[in-house]
Amino acid sequence: MAKDSKGLGDRANRHDRFHQKAKKEGFLARAVYKLSEIDDKHDLFRPGMRVLDLGCSPGSWLQYARSQVGITGQLVGLDRNAQAGGTSGARVHVGDVLTVDVKLLLGDLTQFDVVLSDMAPDTSGIRSQDQARSEALFERALEIAQLTLAPGGNFVGKLFMGPDFKKLTEQVRALFTSAKTQKPDSSRPQSIEQYVIGKGFKKQASGEIK
């Protein structure tokens, strides 16, 4: 991206109404409103749930998840960047989702009740390349969900619209009782991101952790 247009983008971002709202309400990112909209529609959380958040930095989804699962809930986050966590009391790991050891994410837990992924690749501006990278992150998030979700568990994954969008949503449909897609109002209109929501994980016999 050219320097000037990035500058304009940053300025627009700072003046964005969701950015201002997040700042006022003490959330670490405007992304919090995407998860809250998805949750309003799909009712993902219960008190005491165990939640894994992939690509959790700077930490607004963890803050939101804490508000829903309460102090008895357990939150685990992963991000390549170290700044995540905030006030959520989560156990946060720094690492790459593509190489992370799933056992490390589980720690003392046996399973998660919800697996979230808001992971986005560093965009190159080349649409096909960005779509392919987003698909790879989504596929890995879904793989981790398959390995770690409790029966009946829920999944939310960010996915850029692209050639494999239908194929990947069909994969979610096969693994969960219901599968839906949502583009929250707080997602920027120009963004090609969508969220795929799977509810009611159908545990398979082969879900062994390697």
Catalytic residue list: 158
**C-beta closer to ligand SAM: residue 143 or 170:** 143
126 binds ligand SAM (CB under 6 A): no
Tokens of 158: 């960010």
Query: Which tokens hold the place of 54?
Result: 């992939």
Q: Other CB atoms closer than 10 Å to residue 168's CB: what's the count?
A: 18
CB of 202 to ligand SAM, least distance (A): 26
Considering beta carbons, is residue 56 or 75 the nearer one to ligand SAM? 56
Residue 162 as a binder of ligand SAM (CB under 6 A): the answer is no
Contact status: 12 vs ligand SAM (CB under 6 A): no
Q: How many helices (H) and strands (E) does the chain have?
A: 7, 7
Q: What strands, in cross-sheet order, belong to the sheet with 50-54?
A: 91-94, 74-79, 50-54, 112-117, 149-160, 193-201, 176-182
Our finding on whether 56 is near ligand SAM (CB under 6 A) is yes
143 contacts ligand SAM (rule: CB under 6 A): no
**Least CB distance from residue 205 to ligand SAM, whole Å?**
29
**Pairing label, strands 176-182, 193-201:** antiparallel
Query: CB of 114 within 8 A of CB of 64?
Result: no
- Cβ contact 93:105 at 8 Å: yes
CB-wise, 92 or 175, nearer to ligand SAM?
92
Query: What track of x and - describes contact with ligand SAM for positions 67 through 106 (by CB under 6 A)?
Result: -----------xxxx--------------xxx--------
Please tell me whether residue 65 binds ligand SAM under the rule CB under 6 A.
Answer: no
Cα 126 from chain centroid (whole Å): 23
Largest CA distance in the chain: 53
Pick the closer one to ligand SAM by CB: 81 or 87: 81
**Which residues are near ligand SAM by CB under 6 A?**
28-29, 31-32, 55-61, 78-81, 96-98, 118-121, 137
